[in-house]
Amino acid sequence: MKNVFHIFRPNNKQGDQVIESTDEIIGYILLDFEIVRILDFNDFKVLPTCKVEFSSPYSTFIAPIILPKWLERHNSHLFCIALGAIISFVTSRPVKASRDDYLINRELDEYTIQVLAIQFPVLTAGPGSHNYRLSEDQIENYYQELNETINLLYKVPYKLYFRLMRAIRLAQLAYNNKREDFSLAYYLLVSSIEVITQKGTKVPKNKHKLEEKWEEMAKEDEIISELFAEYKKLRNNDKKLRERFVKFIFDYCPPEEWINLKHPKEYSFPLNPPEERQNWQWLFKKRWDELYPEDLQNEELKDDTLKIIISNSYKYRSQFTHEGIAPPHKQPNSYNRFFDVEHEFKTVNGRLEYKEVILANFSLIGYLAKNSILSYAKSKL
């Protein structure tokens, strides 16, 4: 993907000293929602989508892109791949782009439409269908966020830009795979945060409280000396990734900001007039059995419960990575705003034990990924 990231922001793009072409180049990306107006990003434009309907409840939404004038024709489709990743990361929705450059500058004739449409059919009706008709407010919010994110990616140091794009690409893969494999998507989304965590946090130098005593004992005993040397080697190799993962999120997207995450049902009435949408506000309010971040914070807990929940998210990612164990979530598309509560039953020594487990849902992890990563990037300007 290195060439993809380089195409989107070449070395000479940090300033405006680029060679521009007079030829207009058109590429395509595939969305899961409609765009009915032009989105102008100065260097390039996203044109209104072309909806392709299949003889089934599936449709495809093809968005033509007027590519930057400083872009060469050769491999220009890579720009669309990078842009698709950024759009997916910002909107928290699946986005795809063609992997072939022979479709660049082709008109949307019957052949081109067929080749593109089959790559990303979207379920638009029936159980589990996508909400593809978004309000003007929603599209405008996406546009503003995309503008800000793209400008940020052009301004950060070049090495950091590449790391950010790696994280953004992992987030896109998470959204693209969520429908088919929730466990894989959860793993990818948590991993996208870890990419920046390793840059944004330092390895803590935590010494055991008895380490000085062990060191003195090692001077007098050869066996203890060997054990102590092995202990120090293991300690130095421990990068404390799980601990740093939690710290990164709490540093760059603290719990008081989580309330900005929208309730999933707020997307259920996109085309209703604003005055009519007010009648449905009761659906977005906190339910009696729903947990919010403030419910898990008090003077006694001191954020420990929230930190444990986020730490467990990293643990579930590691279990899937190394053992193929799926995270314990039973509702991939949660009806809750922040957390799900699952009930675990285990037989221990012949006795049935019950435990409640509080989980950060997929929407919350996506919100934390986007906002912590962008917050860190802004801190490096």
Task: Write the secondary structure of 298-313 as one string of H (helix), E (strand) and C (coil).
Answer: CCCCCCHHHHHHHHHH
Q: What are the pLDDT digits (tens) for 238-287?
A: 568 889 999 999 999 999 999 999 887 776 555 555 556 566 666 778 88
Question: What is the token pair recorded at 271?
Answer: 């085309």
Helix axes 77-91, 136-155, angle to 10 degrees: 120
H helices of 221-357, in order, are 222-237, 241-252, 274-277, 304-323
Residue 15 pLDDT class (50, 70, 90 cuts): very low
Higher pLDDT, 86 or 241: 86
Q: What are the pLDDT digits (tens) for 166-196?
A: 999 999 999 999 999 999 999 999 999 999 9
Residues of the chain with pLDDT > 70, as a percent, come to: 86
- Its pTM stands at 0.88
For residue 160, pLDDT over 70 is answered with: yes
Question: What is the token pair recorded at 67?
Answer: 């590519």
For residue 71, pLDDT over 80 is answered with: yes
Residue 308, pLDDT score: 92
**Which of 48-57, 228-237, 321-330 has the lowest average pLDDT?**
228-237
Question: What is the token pair recorded at 257?
Answer: 């900001």
Beta-sheet strands, E only, within the chain: 26-31, 39-40, 45-46, 50-53, 58-66, 96-97, 122-123, 339-348, 351-360
